[in-house]
Amino acid sequence: MMCSNNISNYKLLEILKNGKIGTVYKAEYLNNKCLAVKKVSVDQPMEKLKILFNEVLTVRRLQHRNINTIVSCFLYKQYVYLTYNFMCFGNCEMLLKNVYTSGFPEVTIALILKDVLSALTYIHSEHYVHGSVRAKHILLSPRKAVLSNFRYCQSFISQGEKKPFIFGSTVGIEKELYWTAPEVLYQNLSGYTEKIDIYSIGITCCEMANGFQPFKDTELTYMYIEKVRGSLQVLLDKNSLLENQGSLEHTNKRIVRDVIVNKSFSEDFHQFVELCLNKNPLSRWAASKLMTHSFLKQCRNTSLLDQLKDLGKKMSNFKINEQTNNSI
């Protein structure tokens, strides 16, 4: 879909997000189509604008149904405007906070991951690493999940040649490190590959299944030590509780035992997460191979449309309650 580069053709309806370098609005276009519009002031440090510029260039090169593609990009006065297709259910982190507070159902996670892995398979085939897979960067609509935020995306191609490894700094991205693979944290001369995205998929599985961010409320140092030791994050259900002899140590304090003992994830799901979180990147399955895993077989007889059919109503109820609380 082609969109106008004239800001007067867009009606900004409401703020969806106030980000570090800009504000995202829900907007209405001329033909009454809903879009997401990101408004960024050019009056910012050059380093931030450079990150935005690189993200735009990267997303423009990548075209896939499960990537949050930029529809149009234009400059008006002192602002850069980026337009995206509107994903009506927002991101998975927001849904975990407000709707699925104890975690998504397993089949819904499988359907979401099927789309995300499809995006990663394509991204990796184009010799890129996403570098920031997490629930916050997965957007949902009734028909698909898309991967967003390519701010930390890197290419293996440099000066016309493909490098075997990628190197990058962890400075300034401390909040992303909870989803990051151990080999990124090492910061050594060995570098890392696209397998860091697979590790992040494993962490994201735990996040979406358990209902909270792994290592939440822990110090970065503790998280670093646990990952270097090879300690696995796990799906919290009655089986993992029994295996850990009833201990809830290192889990989020919001999760009570009664919630966990009433959960039961499939053996396929547990195995899928273990494959993703293998400390050795060479032993992690590629995104394309993970798409053949038996965990995703449950996607065959259902769809996101089926699983999320009541989500709109739940989100409306949440907004009503939020508005009521804010008025008190």
Select from 12, 20, 72 the least CA-distant residue to 49. 20
**CB neighbour list of residue 186: distance below 8 Å, 6 or more residues apart:** 228
Class of domain 90-305: mainly alpha
pLDDT of residue 217: 80
- What's the rounded Cα separation, in Å, for the pair 92 and 115? 13
**pLDDT per residue rounded down to tens, the chain (328 residues):** 567 788 888 999 999 988 778 899 999 988 788 999 999 999 988 888 888 888 999 999 999 999 999 999 999 989 999 999 999 999 999 999 999 999 999 999 999 999 999 999 999 999 999 999 999 999 999 999 999 999 999 999 988 888 998 988 777 778 888 999 999 988 888 899 999 999 999 999 999 999 998 888 888 888 988 888 888 788 988 887 766 654 455 555 445 677 787 889 999 999 999 999 999 999 999 999 999 999 999 999 999 999 998 887 777 766 544 432 332 3
Q: Is the dihedral of CA 95, 101, 105, 110 positive or negative?
A: positive
- pLDDT tens digits for range 194-209: 999 999 999 999 999 9
Q: In what order do the strands lie in the sheet with 79-85?
A: 11-18, 23-28, 34-41, 79-85, 70-76
Which is the CATH superfamily of the domain at 7-85? Answer: Phosphorylase Kinase; domain 1 (3.30.200.20)
Which sequence spans correspond to the domains of the chain?
Answer: 7-85, 90-305
Residue 196's contacts (CB-CB under 8 Å, 6 or more residues apart) are 129, 131, 180, 181, 183, 184, 281
Tens of pLDDT, residue by residue over 278-290, are 999 999 999 999 9
Q: What is the pTM (predicted TM-score) of this model?
A: 0.91
pLDDT at 318: 61
